[in-house]
Amino acid sequence: MDSNLNNENGIILKVFSANNKYLLLRMLLNKLIYIIHKKNMFMKQKNNQYSQLKIEWNKFNKNDENKKVRIRDAAKKLNCSEAELLSLQISENLNYLEIKDLNVFFKKILTIDKIMLLIRNDFVVHEKNLETKDIAFNENSFLFKENNDIILNFQPESISHIFHESKLHAKRELKSFQFFNSQGDSILKIYLKGKDSLKFSKIAKEYIVDYNYQVQENLDKTTTTPKIEKNLFFQNYDLKNTKTIQKNILRSIIEKFAKEKKQISIYAIGTSSIQYHNDFIKNIVEYGPWINVIDKEFNIHVLEKMLDESKIFEYSYNDKSVYNIEFFDKNKNLLMGITSLKNEIKNFNKLLKNLEII
């Protein structure tokens, strides 16, 4: 009798266990169906947003008045990000990249013969043309091998989206890698300036992935973008004095330094980035409302009327006064700055005195 009872209990347990497994599988299957449904609904929504923006973008481009509008400015007009607009143009000549190790990638870039590093904000574009044999990459900076002077400092951890583009511009092939944060704002653009076109494309091909609305899916418009708000050169210096300058002094400074053939440091603040030019400047060119320096190794383009305020900061360095001039927009955002090289402090201060700035 006990044996029969045990057999019956065993059978009941097996049935109960089988039912539980069945229920558990049903629950897991239902959960999976729900997740897939939510994912499909989300992707449908993103697809609709993508399609709607594409309609607006095509309409925008058909207007002759918009032919010369840069993609960054177009994005502002269409109330979207530059990365969103760029994603609309995915094709054979514009690819979305997935790069897991940026350190390895940037070191590959330095096998290209010549590149341009470009950062910008709304009113200043800063470009450095560089032969890669002269520069190195170290964690978050491009720098000169000879003296370890920083060319570009940025925050690689802010990079969320990367594109490779190849297009014709003024009848010339223009190839670039473009890096954006999670808000879709440009952090850095690297352009091919030499002859290694095939190598540039080969590097891109290593990282190309299918575009599945990655920008739209991961767009983050709530997180605050980390900012670089001071020239790194002055982080450990003692601030002695600060003065606001009422007049716009950018033009007079760069014209004076170009004329006198004295070296100068000109830097610009981008999205999570700061880029420097520490050398001579020569060719100053006006183009519409922009004042530009157009030299072989350095270009800067400044929308002069948007420089709302200038401040001069006096620091102490080896018992000498070192001056740093910063330029802000009406919202108090730091756009760019001018200062001296370490070995040019005396000449820099003398020229500022001649201009009656100090």
Residue pLDDT, tens place only, 238-289:
899 999 997 789 999 999 999 999 999 999 999 999 999 999 999 999 998 9
CA distance 128 to 152: 9
Residue 255 confidence (pLDDT):
96
Token pair of 324 as six digits? 């740093």
For residue 223, report the phi and psi dihedrals to the nearest 5 degrees: -70, 135
Task: Tell the CATH superfamily of the 82-217 domain.
Answer: HemS/ChuS/ChuX like domains (3.40.1570.10)
Pick the CATH number of 232-354 from 2.30.30.100, 3.90.380.10, 2.60.120.380, 3.40.1570.10: 3.40.1570.10
Of 355, 346, 288, nearest in space to 319 by CA = 346
pLDDT score for 182 = 94
Q: Positive or negative, the Cα torsion across 54, 57, 61, 62?
A: positive
Q: Are 186 and 121 in contact (CB under 8 A)?
A: no
Residue 186's pLDDT is: 96
Task: Please state the pTM of the whole predicted model.
Answer: 0.85
Please report the pLDDT score of residue 319 as a whole number: 83
Report whether 189 contacts 176 (CB < 8 A). Answer: yes
Question: Mean pLDDT throughout 219-243?
Answer: 80
Q: Report the alpha-carbon distance of residue 348 to residue 350 in Å, rounded.
A: 5
The pLDDT of residue 329 is above 70: yes
**18: helix, strand or coil:** helix
pLDDT, averaged across the chain: 89
Place of tokens 């767009």: 219
Q: Which residue has the higher pLDDT, 218 or 346?
A: 346
Higher-confidence residue of 4 and 347: namely 347
- Assigned token pair, 208: 């190309």
Is 60 exceeded by the pLDDT of residue 154?
yes
User: Among residues of the chain, what percentage have pLDDT more than 70?
Assistant: 87
The SS3 assignment for 81 reads: coil
pLDDT tens figures, 89-131: 999 999 999 999 999 999 999 999 999 999 999 999 999 999 9
CB 89 within 8 A of CB 75: no
